[in-house]
Amino acid sequence: MSVGQQATKASMDQTLTAVSVQLRQVMSTISARWTFVNNGAAGTAVEVLTAIGYDNTNTDAPGGQSDAAYAEYVLNQLNTMAEIYYGQATQPSAYDFDNALAPMWAGL
């Protein structure tokens, strides 16, 4: 007897539905956060991020950036994926988003 539950059509349908809904929710959250910091009403994205608590003076973040500048970079990377998901952007060449966002995992 094998370990674990064997896949069935019903379990695969359930997984595909659940993952699709989760992906839609994640992309919606990314898009909303990007819009919040880039709406222009409260200044640049870095100014908005600084206003909500990100430090813009130290340069300890990857690439020697401030925390606010790095948060903007990460949000832009994530938003590019959301734009591709929504059909608002194309990806002209292969790009390793997994590697670009690896510093965010903090070893997880």
pLDDT per residue as tens digits for the range 26-84: 999 999 999 999 987 778 999 999 999 999 998 988 889 999 999 999 999 999 999 99
Q: For residue 63, what pLDDT is reported? A: 86
Q: DSSP string spanning 6-39?
A: PP-HHHHHHHHHHHHHHHHHHHHHHHHHHHHHTS
pLDDT at 108: 66
pTM (two decimals): 0.83
